[in-house]
């Protein structure tokens, strides 16, 4: 050869690396550039680093050290990096710090390009979730229930010590009894222990009591402070990992021991169309039920609209979710927990012949009729609030006389007359959902959902081998999720007709 070949000559056209390069070139990265203040030593261009990271996640290369090797040895990465060689520290700092808070808008810009090219539509969305393990020690757990139990034990023992002190030194403790022995803060526990210790200082007390008091004085104030810090991290969660405080312990299906043990992780929710990811969101809850409203609110913030139609499985069929979808004009095809069972009517009726759903309601008289034809009249209503703050209206109905009824033992187990609680709004939502799901369009959506959203998780976890996050903290984990989502969309689009250039 008279002239050495260019690196680009070794890259076929089409190739996914060219798609990554073309799309990132067309995406507005002004928010990313704003993270660089200027001055000092010249840095690697953020656009080049983003291309390297996206193509790395597309090529199943997630480690910063392996990416460092790739830009030196792999022709595709060498071309993307323009023959520059950023080290693993540079790559990791860019991923963990520079992309925090801005990866999702970048992902949305990529989706908008896919919408313009006709690959996807924002009108229909299929939503589901999966749990991915956090980069955290599986055995450094903190449980909210354990903290509550320990605080209750501490309060009980404090009260026992106080009562003993009152029995032998009533005068010294007169009018000093605290309103509550529940350990609320370090100073409160110290004051209570000091009052007991002062009252017993001149008294002869058993060695066991003295030992217990000394232990309390030495350990309990610091323990209360520790519990307060842990409760601040927990907020409304049931657990967290000491290695990654944002990770919650969840039961994973992909368990190496095949026994469904709890491991620290994150609940990743995605909405898809034609197996492209339209939106993703991270949650610290173990169930999907409470994630949908937050997921859709973020969707609206990114695109300025909500999907016209949304399909999801029974894990999302709560009153709060149905209410949010109805209020925002989204036509929902979301199952509720008994949808599949109720469709097998004969078997379901055999197992639950006296279920509330089967009782006849007389709207005019506002009453139910039990299987024996007895009237169940309205006796009151109450409001209950869910963990997310959503209010539910519950109405109560009671039978007049269940004594001597031949169906009593089968109908209900309470000793008195049967009382049923009914949420009419949820009842209405379920009836409307059933009508939509059993319609022609509903059947089509129910058939399409498992073929649209679930294969995406299979691609990420099985084909790409991504079963555990590398970074720690929900902000950094969100960056990894964004890189995964962008890489998935671009790899899929590389197999289809090329993206049309936006005008």
CA angle 22, 482, 103 (to 5 degrees): 75
Tell me the three state secondary structure of residue 398.
strand
Read out DSSP for 419-438?
A: EEEE-HHHHHHHHHHHHHHH
Last residue in a domain, options 215, 240, 265: 240
What pLDDT score does 177 carry? 86
What pLDDT score does 105 carry? 95
Torsions phi, psi for 211 (to 5 deg): -65, -45
**Domain annotation covers residue 236:** yes
Please list the rounded mean pLDDT of every run of 10 residues in the chain (503 residues). 78 89 93 83 87 96 96 94 93 94 95 92 95 92 94 93 86 83 90 89 85 91 94 93 95 69 93 96 94 96 95 94 96 90 64 78 89 88 91 92 83 86 93 93 94 94 93 96 96 75 42
Measured between alpha carbons, how far is 423 from 481 in angstroms, rounded to an integer? 38
Q: Name residue 377's beta-bridge partners.
A: 367, 398
Last residue in a domain, options 416, 432, 448: 432
Determine how many CB atoms are found less than 10 A away from the CB of residue 164. 18
Burial 440-452 (b: 16+ CB within 10 A, else e): eebeebbeebeeb
**Domain annotation covers residue 213:** yes
pTM of the model: 0.89
What pLDDT score does 180 carry? 85
Last residue in a domain, options 432, 457, 488: 432
Unique residue bearing structure tokens 């058993």: 206
Number of domains in the chain: 2
What pLDDT score does 422 carry? 93
304: alpha, beta or left, given left = phi > 0 and alpha = psi -120 to 50? left
Q: Which domain holds residue 418?
A: 361-432
What pLDDT score does 184 carry? 87
**Domain annotation covers residue 389:** yes
| Cα-Cα-Cα-Cα dihedral sign, residues 45, 47, 50, 52 | negative
Burial class of 203 by CB neighbour count within 10 A (0 to 12, 13 to 18, 19+): exposed
**Domain annotation covers residue 499:** no
Question: Cβ distance 63 to 150 under 8 Å?
Answer: no
For the chain, the straight-line distance linking the first and the last C-alpha, in angstroms and rounded, comes to 40
**Domain annotation covers residue 403:** yes
**C-alpha of 246 from chain center:** 11
Is the preceding omega at residue 480 within 30 degrees of 0, hence cis? no
What pLDDT score does 56 carry? 96
Measured between alpha carbons, how far is 167 from 298 in angstroms, rounded to an integer? 60
What pLDDT score does 487 carry? 96
What pLDDT score does 252 carry? 85
Determine how many CB atoms are found less than 10 A away from the CB of residue 282. 22
**Domain annotation covers residue 86:** no
**Domain annotation covers residue 469:** no
**Domain annotation covers residue 374:** yes
**C-alpha of 276 from chain center:** 21
Closest CA to 67 of 94, 40, 45: 94
């Amino acid at each position: 050869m008279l002239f050495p070949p260019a690196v680009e000559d070794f890259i076929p056209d089409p190739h996914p690396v060219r798609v990554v390069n073309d799309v990132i070139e067309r995406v507005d990265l002004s928010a990313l550039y704003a993270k660089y203040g200027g001055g000092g030593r010249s840095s690697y261009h953020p656009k080049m680093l983003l291309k390297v990271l996206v193509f790395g996640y597309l090529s199943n290369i997630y480690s910063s050290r392996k990416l460092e090797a790739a830009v030196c040895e792999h022709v595709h990465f060498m071309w993307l990096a323009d023959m520059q060689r950023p080290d693993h520290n540079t790559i990791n700092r860019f991923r963990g710090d520079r992309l925090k808070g801005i990866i999702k808008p970048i992902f949305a810009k990529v989706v908008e390009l896919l919408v313009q090219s006709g690959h996807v539509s924002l009108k229909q969305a299929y939503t589901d979730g999966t749990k991915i393990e956090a980069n955290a020690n599986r055995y450094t757990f903190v449980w909210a229930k354990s903290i509550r139990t320990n605080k209750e034990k501490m309060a009980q023992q404090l009260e026992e010590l106080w009562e003993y002190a009152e029995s032998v030194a009533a005068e010294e403790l007169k009018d000093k009894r605290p309103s509550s022995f529940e350990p609320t803060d370090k100073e409160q526990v110290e004051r209570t222990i000091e009052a007991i210790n002062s009252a017993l200082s001149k008294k002869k007390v058993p060695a066991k009591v003295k030992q217990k008091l000394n232990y309390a004085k030495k350990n309990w104030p610091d323990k209360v402070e520790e519990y307060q810090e842990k409760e601040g991290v927990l907020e409304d969660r049931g657990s967290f990992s000491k290695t990654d405080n944002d990770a919650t312990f969840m039961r994973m299906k992909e368990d190496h021991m095949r026994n469904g043990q709890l491991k620290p992780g994150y609940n990743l929710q995605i909405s898809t169309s034609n197996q492209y990811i339209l939106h993703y969101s991270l949650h610290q809850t173990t169930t999907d039920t409470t994630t949908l409203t937050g997921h859709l609110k973020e969707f609206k913030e990114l695109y300025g609209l909500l999907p016209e139609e949304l399909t999801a499985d029974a894990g999302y069929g709560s009153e709060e979710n149905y209410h949010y979808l109805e209020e925002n004009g989204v036509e929902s095809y979301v199952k509720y927990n008994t949808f599949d069972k109720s469709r097998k009517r004969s078997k379901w009726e055999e197992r639950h012949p006296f279920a509330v759903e089967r009782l006849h309601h007389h709207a005019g008289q506002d009453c139910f009729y039990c299987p024996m034809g007895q009237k169940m009249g309205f006796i009151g209503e109450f409001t209950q609030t869910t963990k997310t703050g959503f209010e539910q209206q519950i109405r109560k109905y009671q039978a007049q006389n269940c004594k001597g009824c031949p169906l009593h033992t089968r109908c209900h187990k309470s000793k008195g007359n049967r009382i049923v609680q009914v949420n009419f709004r949820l009842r209405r939502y379920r009836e409307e959902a059933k009508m939509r799901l059993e319609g022609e369009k509903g059947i089509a959506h129910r058939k399409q959902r498992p073929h649209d959203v679930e294969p995406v998780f299979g691609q990420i976890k099985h084909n790409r081998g991504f079963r555990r996050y590398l970074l720690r903290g929900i902000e950094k984990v969100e960056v990894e999720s964004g890189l995964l989502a962008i890489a998935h969309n671009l790899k899929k689009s590389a197999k289809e007709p090329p993206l049309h250039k936006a005008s």
